[in-house]
Amino acid sequence: MRLLVAGAAGMLGLDVMRAGDRAGHELVGLSRSELDVTDAAAVDGAFDRDTPDAVLNCAGWTDVDGAEIHREEAYAVNADGAGNLARAAARAGVALVYVSTDYVFDGQPRLSGSGSPRAYVESDPTGPRSVYGQSKLEGERQVLAASPQHAVVRSSWLFGVGGRNFAATMIGLAAEREVVQVVADQVGCPTWTGHLAPALLGLIERQVSGVVHLAGTGAISWSGFAAELFRQAEFDCRVEAASTAQTPRPAPRPAWSALESERSDVLPLPPWQDGLAGYLAARAGMMRT
Residues annotated as part of the active site: 132
Long-range contacts of 17-21 (CB under 8 A, 24+ apart): 18/197, 19/197, 19/198, 19/201, 20/197, 20/201
Cβ atoms of 188 and 257 closer than 8 Å: yes
Please say whether the dihedral angle defined by the alpha carbons of residues 6, 23, 97 and 254, taken in this order, is positive or negative: negative
User: What are the Cα distances from residue 3, in Å, to 25, 55, 143, 147, 192?
Assistant: 7, 6, 17, 18, 22
DSSP codes, 27-70: EEEE-TTT--TT-HHHHHHHHHHH--SEEEE------HHHHHH-
Integer Cα distance of 236 and 232 in angstroms: 11
